[in-house]
Amino acid sequence: MDEAGELRAAIEAIVGAEHVTTAESELERHGHDESWHETARPDLVVFPGSTEEVAAVVRACHARRVPMIPFGAGSSLEGNVAALTGGVSIDLTRMNRILSVRPEDLDATIEAGVTRRQLEERLREDGVFFSVDPGADATLGGMAATGASGTTAVRYGTMRENVLSLTVVTADGEIMRTRSRARKSSAGYDLTHLLIGSEGTLGVITELTVKLHPLPEATASAIVNFPTVRDAVEAATETIQMGLPVARVELADEVTMHAIAQRSELPVAERPTLFFDLHGSESGVQEHAAALADIVAAHGAEGYEWSTDPAECRRIWHARHQVYEATVALRPGCRGMPTDVCVPVSRLADCIEESRADLTASGVFAPIVGHVGDGNFHLTIVVDPNSDEEVAAARGLSERLVKRAIEMEGTCTGEHGVGIGKVKYLALEHDPETMAMMRRIKDAMDPLGLMNPGKVLSA
Amino acid sequence: MDEAGELRAAIEAIVGAEHVTTAESELERHGHDESWHETARPDLVVFPGSTEEVAAVVRACHARRVPMIPFGAGSSLEGNVAALTGGVSIDLTRMNRILSVRPEDLDATIEAGVTRRQLEERLREDGVFFSVDPGADATLGGMAATGASGTTAVRYGTMRENVLSLTVVTADGEIMRTRSRARKSSAGYDLTHLLIGSEGTLGVITELTVKLHPLPEATASAIVNFPTVRDAVEAATETIQMGLPVARVELADEVTMHAIAQRSELPVAERPTLFFDLHGSESGVQEHAAALADIVAAHGAEGYEWSTDPAECRRIWHARHQVYEATVALRPGCRGMPTDVCVPVSRLADCIEESRADLTASGVFAPIVGHVGDGNFHLTIVVDPNSDEEVAAARGLSERLVKRAIEMEGTCTGEHGVGIGKVKYLALEHDPETMAMMRRIKDAMDPLGLMNPGKVLSA
């Protein structure tokens, strides 16, 4: 038997032959995510059913010096799952059990393959919810690995603020739990946060204990149009500076609103827009809506309405969540190349305005959406992958944007992670000493460099 | 010149002779914190004035294989600053500059020696505040190093949720900044959180960029008495489970209230008590006070009043903050030996009740206070250090409490850190694999084991 065959046999002995595949379609699917980054196929895909099986698979790969790439829903956006040097894709989607939900402690323990919507549905019956909402129906393990966030981070935080504890399989196949279930702890080094955002390069996340929140008594959503993008951004910034506890405040420019108009049953104006969401008591929501009314009016907004009907609110957020697909669909045959910078909110209006001028000048099609309460926004660059000129212009725009954000004391990635797309920018953002320390951590936790090689740090 | 003299000369050349001392009183002061742990003196104390000076001092020590112990206000409670193997105490209190306050971004950058009260006073003029409040007037660097929290964590989080970025001098004297000033980032490994709670064992924190919050429009505080400690704890737990956004909810048992009564100008009843604090809009605070009224009434509370007068509120929280000193003072000549467990809130009432039964049975004097919204509480064990019998009984009680909390899926330390006091319990709380990973991190970041040796992990 050759080496590949021998590894396959070893893995089949762990998980059963029916949970191992080298089918072309599966290798293809596991070689890329939803981004424009080139596919890099793994040599084999395994679907383990438990943390112990993951550990045994990792030990089998580790013993043979074979790279491993953890895989969830494949909804990442920076090539985070591409198997750059082949190896074994560890697909965690069979591990989709919700192990326990404890409304009395406002926490839940789940396997890494549970998806956001699956968890949402299960929690509703207990009157609680999990807040992190990246739009895609990602797995919770993938969301933790990427340090994901999305529309609700402005109020409830990102994955970093919403994970209590992780079960992790280390690079050499040991199982460790990072932390107890206590709400607060100072008991040793914070391995939980070290794993969040490590993108499978330090270990495989197999279980999570996450924080839950009581469902708010009342919610209200509104789609508010502004004369200009700057007006919209300044209204959002002022909302944050005043400490108004909005649950969501999302920017969409006029082109994005055009894309939404093509898909949504909602009648939307094709103008610069903020989507707002408020959570609280009945009177609290009313009070915050009134305070917001003053802010948005001062920035030229008029003629919007608050919706408190749950079905209508769902339609509004469904429309917002479709933005990426809707925008890419505006140019059939083209691909999305989303950017992901985040800057201090006081710099946001300038950063967006300069970026809009840049994209106009460079002739790139790139509508803007943003989690503007956090200073995070995306250009959804849509490019014809067969046009070298377009691709080059898009890459240039993206690089200038990253540099602009870093100069404004921001980051090259607010929530999509480094993957392969941002590897080269990490050294622009961090000091050489900081980069060296990240490398030391990587070498300490994965001395053979087998975990998702080439991601976060160059291989 | 002997080795010690040679090191002293090297350090004097960096910071100036006037900022180096081997005076007995200073060695003594830097050899212990506010806890019962035995003093272990450093050989020398240095007071650097800048990050660059800290880096140069660290390089001088590193080259000579001399241990280093970062020192802030000395207000820690687990012997976190004791110089177990001698060496150089790096006192950061000269680095007390508030470098910039940016209300528009709700953040501030400060040197590590800035104290909590110093920052609070400076921020007031800008209508913002820093939320973490451990009671003591600790330095911000020390608070980050310990992973501190305190009374407001239930609403605003601990140091972990309130630090954006750190400037750190590594064990070999390099300067690294952990992260940008962006509100959100997925740009590489989370060195910020790795340093928070590392207690000087992975590097020296010299600067922090922290999150600020707008001052609430209205606040209200109340001291509410209950028939029993269980009633009080259950009222607090229910408050959390309902998602009522209290800014503080603090437990004090009847003996603690007796201690407070000795010191405070407030007329307080010597009964089990919750201290509440509400932050919000005028109407929001009123609404939450009304919701709380129902909860506490259902648990037997009566006859309390809400105070909205700022001076009165300050008196209430001043009384609460004096608890540790007031409790220790009840037994002149004795020392405090505070415990610090934290359990999931659904287990809190049981954990406290079992612990009270235990302390009664063991004859130890140990009033209880607690940040009960987070499941965190302290027995303030007060012992006669000259009575072997008392000390042994206190240690036994403390150890049983730790084991009880860990069995309830909690932690041996919610906020005081490991120091030397909890080193032996860390292996009870964490898997061997988790402990091994913490050791790997320590060895990667401080290969010579010079940074605060013997803390967090055994030397």
Do A300 and A242 lie in a common domain?
A: yes
Q: In this complex, do A243 and B345 lie within 8 Å of one another by their Cβ atoms? A: no
Looking at chain B, which residue has its C-alpha nearest residue A426? B187
Q: Let me know if residue B438 belongs to a domain.
A: no
What local confidence, expressed as pLDDT, does residue B302 receive? 85
Q: Examine the domain organization and report whether B155 and B63 are in the same domain.
A: no
The reply to whether residue B180 touches residue A410, judged by beta carbons under 8 angstroms, is yes
Q: Report which secondary-structure segment, H or E, holds B232.
A: helix B229-241
Same domain flag for A110 and A201: yes
Question: Mean pLDDT over residues B25-32, rounded?
Answer: 97
Contacts for B387 with CB less than 8 Å, ≥ 6 apart = none
pLDDT category, B146, cuts 50, 70, 90? very high
Q: Tell me, what's the pLDDT at A459?
A: 80
For residues B250 and B199, state if they share a domain: no
Say how many domains are in chain A: 4
Please judge whether B187 and A426 are an interchain contact, meaning their C-beta atoms are less than 8 angstroms apart. Answer: yes
Q: Best residue in B154, B186, B348 to probe A by mutation, most A CBs within 10 Å?
A: B186
Of B186, B192, B413, the CB nearest to A186: B413
Specify the DSSP class assigned to residue B19.
G
Residue A31 is predicted with a pLDDT of 97
Q: Is the pLDDT of residue A309 over 80?
A: yes
Q: Strands A376-383 and A306-307: what pairing? A: unpaired
Please report the pLDDT score of residue A439 as a whole number.
Answer: 98
* CA pair distance A419, A425, nearest whole angstrom: 11
Alpha carbon of B415 to those of A458, B104, B219: distances in Å?
37, 30, 25
Closest CA to B170 of B187, B195, B152, B147: B195
pLDDT digits (tens, 9 = 90+) for B413-425: 999 999 999 999 9
Q: Do residue A176 and residue B434 have CB atoms under 8 angstroms apart? A: yes
Put simply, the answer to whether A412 touches B187 (Cβ < 8 Å) is: yes
Q: Is A244 helix (H, G, I), strand (E, B) or coil?
A: coil
**Least CB-CB distance to B105: which of A102, A193, A346?**
A346
Question: Looking at the predicted structure, is the pLDDT value of residue A193 above 90?
Answer: yes
* Closest residue of chain A to B457, computed from CA coordinates: A188
Residue B146 contacts residue B136 (beta carbons within 8 Å): no
- In this prediction, residue B459 has a pLDDT band, given cuts at 50, 70 and 90, of confident
- Most A CBs within 10 A among B184, B193, B207, hence the mutation to make, goes to B184
Q: Which amino acid is at A196?
A: I
User: What pLDDT, in 10s, does the model give residues A439-452?
Assistant: 999 999 999 999 99
Rounded to an integer, what distance in angstroms lies between the CA atom of residue A423 and that of residue A412? 10
Asked, for residue A448, whether it belongs to a domain, the answer is no
| Residue A438, in any domain of the structure | no
Please give the mean pLDDT across all residues of chain A: 96
Per residue in A229-288, pLDDT (tens digit) is 999 999 999 999 999 999 999 999 999 999 999 988 888 999 999 999 999 999 999 999
Same domain, B14 and B105: no
In this predicted structure, the answer to whether residue B266 has a pLDDT above a threshold of 90 is no
Nearest in space to B147 (alpha carbons), one of A197, A105, A196, A189: A189
pLDDT at B106 over 80: yes
Contacts of B161 in chain A (CB under 8 A): 157, 161
- Each residue's pLDDT tens digit, A104-131: 999 999 999 999 999 999 999 999 999 9
Question: Are residues A290 and A197 part of one domain?
Answer: no
B330 has pLDDT over 90 = yes
Contacts of B422 in chain A (CB under 8 A): 187
> What CATH number has the domain bearing residue B49?
3.30.43.10
Strand B376-383 with B335-338, pairing: antiparallel
**Best residue in A183, A283, A378, A424 for a mutation probing chain B (most B CBs within 10 Å):** A183
Q: Are A351 and B182 in contact (CB under 8 A)?
A: no
Please check whether residue B82 lies inside any domain of the structure. Answer: yes
Which has more pLDDT, A2 or A139? A139
| Minimum mean pLDDT range among A79-88, B256-265, B374-383 | B256-265
Instruction: Report the alpha-carbon distance of residue A70 to residue A156 in Å, rounded.
Output: 27
Short-list A328, A325, A339, CA closest to A379: A339
For residues A347 and A321, membership in a common domain is answered with no
Axis-axis angle for helices B282-298, A282-298 (nearest 10): 170
Q: Which of B191, B431, B434 sits opposite A434 (nearest CB)?
A: B191
List all residues 6 or more positions away from B362 whose beta carbon is below 8 Å from its beta carbon.
Answer: B393, B396, B397
Asked if pLDDT for residue B265 goes beyond 90, the answer is: no
Output the pLDDT for position A174: 98
In chain B, the N- to C-terminal Cα span, in Å, equals 30
Quick check: is A47 in a domain? Answer: yes
Instruction: Assess whether A243 and A177 both reside in one domain.
Output: no
What is the C-alpha separation between B431 and B420, in angstroms, rounded? 19
Do B87 and B9 lie in one domain? The reply is: yes
Question: Which of A325, A360, A391 is a domain's end point?
Answer: A325
Residue numbers of the domain that contains B248: 218-325
One domain for residues B347 and B418: yes
The CATH number that applies at residue A377 is: 3.30.70.2740
Cβ contact (<8 Å) for B342 and A189? no
Q: Residue A441: which of B174, B189, B414 has the nearest Cβ? A: B189
Q: Are A18 and A68 found together in one domain?
A: yes
Residues A338 and A256: beta-carbon distance below 8 Å: no
Last residue within a domain, chosen from A325, A355, A374:
A325
The mean pLDDT value for A87-92 works out to 98
Phi-psi region of A405 (alpha: psi -120 to 50; beta: other; left: phi over 0): alpha
Point out the residue among B187, B198, B440 whose CB comes nearest to the CB of A413: B187
Mean pLDDT, rounded, for B387-395: 96
A375–B440 CB contact, under 8 Å: no
The chain-wide mean pLDDT, for chain B, equals: 96
Q: Is residue A452 part of a domain?
A: no
Residues 6 or more apart in contact with residue A82 via CB below 8 angstroms = A31, A32, A33, A37, A38, A39, A40, A69, A419, A420
**Which residue among B184, B345, B422 places its CB closest to the CB of A105?**
B345
- pLDDT > 70 in chain A, percent: 100
- Say whether both A126 and A72 belong to one domain: no
- Choose the final residue of a domain: B214, B241, B257: B214
Q: Does pLDDT of A303 surpass 90?
A: no
Which CATH number covers residue B321? 3.30.70.2190
Q: What is the pLDDT of residues B438-447, one digit of tens each?
A: 999 999 999 9
- Does residue B448 lie in a domain region? no
Is B320 within a domain?
A: yes
**pLDDT score of B1 more than 90:** no
Task: Give the distance from residue A381's alpha carbon to the nearest chain B alpha carbon, in angstroms.
Answer: 20
| Closest-CA distance of chain A to residue B199, Å | 9
Give the alpha-carbon dihedral of B122, B125, B127, B128, to 10 degrees.
-10
> Rounded to 10 degrees, what is the CA torsion of B98, B103, B107, B111?
0
CB contact under 8 A, B185 and A456: no
**CATH number for position B195:** 3.30.465.10
